[in-house]
Amino acid sequence: MEVFQARLEHLEPVSQLFDQYRVFYKSPSELETARKFLQERFQKGDSMIFVASHNGTIVGFTQLYPSFSSVSMKRVWLLNDLFVEQTYRKQGVTKLLLCAAAKFAKQTEAIRISLATQISNVAAQSLYEALGYCKDEAFHHYSLKL
């Protein structure tokens, strides 16, 4: 298994995984729109995507978006998307992707990676905690749906 930073040349396989990821979260399949969305991310350089490849086939990805902490005046990365094809789950692929994201965040001198997961996703929570992620007990997070 190999993990590396995706580039525009990986747009097609990453778009297919991204579309599967969205379907997993109960959004309709929109492969062409997903492709356009990711192409824009690549072209504008406003996200970082890492992929896991097995024998040349991309089987998982994670996408990070940049943010900043005003209090510390440092970079923060939001790990917004993480998906591994069903047949490659429970084989360490997710851990490899998370470790690549952490290495990248350290290289960019970020102070943290933030992520959110469904309350029911106990398996993911266990992995996050095993890798050193801490559940936020100090703040309530809110969102405004527009």
**Residue 141: per-residue pLDDT:** 85
| 67: in domain | yes
In Å, how far from its chain's centre is CA 120? Answer: 18
Whether pLDDT at 6 is above 90: yes
| 131: in domain | no
Q: What is the CATH number of the domain that holds 13?
A: 3.40.630.30
Q: What is the mean pLDDT of residues 95-105?
A: 98
- Number of structural domains the chain divides into: 1
| 121: in domain | no
Give the DSSP H/E element, type plus range, for residue 54: strand 48-54
Model confidence at 145, in pLDDT bands (50, 70, 90)? very high
* pLDDT tens figures, 29-86: 999 999 999 999 999 999 999 999 999 999 999 999 999 999 999 999 999 999 999 9
Q: Domain range for residue 16?
A: 2-115
Give the DSSP H/E element, type plus range, for residue 60: strand 57-69
Got the DSSP string for 79-143? EEEEEE-GGGTTTTHHHHHHHHHHHHHHHTT-SEEEE---TT-HHHHHHHHHTT-----S-----
Model confidence at 144, in pLDDT bands (50, 70, 90)? very high
Model confidence at 2, in pLDDT bands (50, 70, 90)? very high
How high does pLDDT run on average in the chain?
A: 96
**Residue 114: per-residue pLDDT:** 96
| 73: in domain | yes
| 52: in domain | yes
CB distance 131 to 99 below 8 Å: yes
| 37: in domain | yes
Give the global pTM: 0.93
CA atoms within 13 A on the CB side of 3: 20
| 87: in domain | yes
| 144: in domain | no
Whether pLDDT at 140 is above 90: no
